[in-house]
Amino acid sequence: MRKKGGMELSINAIVILIIAMVVLGIGILFIRGMFAKAQTTTFKALSAQDTANPASADRPFMADREVTLSPTNPTATVAVSAYNVLSGSSPVNITLTGCKNSTGGDVNTTPGSLVQAIGYTPVTGTLSASSFSGYQTTISMLKNTTGQYLFKAGDVLACNLDATIGTGTTASTYPATVIVKIAAS
């Protein structure tokens, strides 16, 4: 009799242990899922908050209004954001289309040119329908073939960025202007 009672007790303990492990596993999965959702929500909120001028349906492309370059800091980060007004997922391409100096003259922005004065990192991505995304790119002051910058302190450039959202006949292009100020070292 004693042996049978001892056996029943150990089987009950094993069953209770298995049920406890299953409940614990379900609880861990539930908590892990909640933290993943909270993390995603936090990142979405932070990216919207970090974008000073988020794009919207009314203004599908936004960019920082002004950046400053200098010989000691010849590259600046530019925050841009684009909003997809189209009904489906669409590609977005953001490019530098040109810069003008304070007298209205063109500044060479042609990549690979020997006299290229301003460099830019193009942005590409994909936007879901009716959503916006923020991106970071750079605008750089480049040296000429003699190792000199073509700008001096006090120069001001107006650089045009274009965001093309969509492809083919559904593509739309939206402009934005970034003022580039040249500072002393």
Q: What is the pLDDT of residues 46-75, one digit of tens each?
A: 344 455 678 888 899 998 889 999 999 999
pLDDT of residue 57: 86
How far is residue 47's CA from residue 55's CA, in Å, rounded to a whole number?
12
The pTM assigned to this predicted structure is 0.67
For 116-171, the pLDDT digits (tens) are: 788 888 888 888 888 888 888 889 998 888 888 888 889 999 999 999 999 888 89
Q: How far apart, in whole angstroms, are the C-alpha atoms of residue 35 and residue 33?
A: 5
Buried b (16+ CB within 10 A) or exposed e, 1-11: eeeeeeeeeee
Is 50 within 8 Å of 135 (Cβ atoms)? no
Q: Are 175 and 59 in contact (CB under 8 A)?
A: no
Q: 31 versus 94: which is more confidently predicted?
A: 94
pLDDT given for residue 160 in this prediction:
93
Distance from C-alpha of 15 to C-alpha of 5, rounded to nearest angstrom: 16
* Nearest Cα to Cα of residue 153 among 72, 63, 65: 72
Structure tokens at 171: 């593509």
Q: Which pLDDT band, with edges at 50, 70 and 90, does 40 fall under? A: very low
Q: By three-state DSSP, how is residue 35 classified?
A: helix
**Could you say which DSSP state residue 143 is in?**
B
Tell whether the torsion through CA atoms of 23, 28, 34 and 40 is positive or negative: negative
The predicted pLDDT at position 4 comes to 61
